[in-house]
Amino acid sequence: MPAPPPIARPDRNIRNVRHARTATPGTWFVAIVAACAAFGIAAPVHAEDPWTPPPHVRPQTSDARDLLADAAARSPLVRSMVDRLEHSDVVVYIRYRRFNDSQLHGWIGVLSVVAGRRYLVIELACGRVTFDVMATLGHELHHALEIAGEPSIVDARTLAAYYTRVGINTGNHAGGGRTFETLAAQQAGLQVRRDVFTRTMRTAEDK
């Protein structure tokens, strides 16, 4: 199997599906749940044996690997999504990034297609509360499943075309390009947040 393409910062022209705030009354995105910061930073949950990410979901740093491992340990939904991605034709890289836009929590973009595999990248905002980052990860993993289920998505143009058809246009980001959202991804992020909080509370009660 050919090696994946070099992983560099996505080109500015890549259309990204992202978390975004909205000023529209009655519309609520996962990214604006500021109250969850009051819960503090969750303590990691570690398995007895080191956790190895599956081949189709590839954290690029030790921090990203620990985040995915903790999220999978806390959330059945994260585990399920990772398993489903493992049976798809997409490979998802996960890494942290410092965004110029403080309202941006994360996004997913298309990198390339090589030998029938589609390579995606999830970028998560640095310096955020762990509960928020795990929720964002769950949100973006759901977008990865949406892309995996739509064979026509092979580049920035087809990604934008798909989400123009099925998603919510949330405007533009500071780096240029349109951004989109889906209700299903929002719901996935919320469920992961609930999973993580519930597991954390149970762990605290057991001590």
Residue 139's pLDDT is 98
Give me the number of domains the chain comprises: 1
Residue 179's pLDDT is 80
Residue 32's pLDDT is 21
The answer to whether 172 and 179 have CB atoms below 8 angstroms apart is yes
Q: Is 37 part of any domain?
A: no
Rounded to the nearest 10°, the torsion over CA 26, 29, 35, 41 is 170
Single out the residue of 182, 178, 99, 168 nearest to residue 139, CA to CA.
182
Q: Is 159 part of any domain?
A: yes
Positions in the chain short of pLDDT 70: 1-54, 172-177, 201-207
Q: 120-160, pLDDT tens digit by residue?
A: 999 999 999 999 999 999 999 999 999 999 999 999 999 99
Residue 33's pLDDT is 23
Residue 100's pLDDT is 87
Q: Is 79 part of any domain?
A: yes
Q: Is 64 part of any domain?
A: yes
Distance CA 161, CA 200 (A): 39
Q: Is 32 part of any domain?
A: no
- Per the structure, the complete domain to which residue 188 belongs is given by 16-21+51-201
Q: Is 195 part of any domain?
A: yes
Q: Is 98 part of any domain?
A: yes
Q: Is 44 part of any domain?
A: no
Q: What are the structure tokens assigned to 205, written together?
A: 């009660």
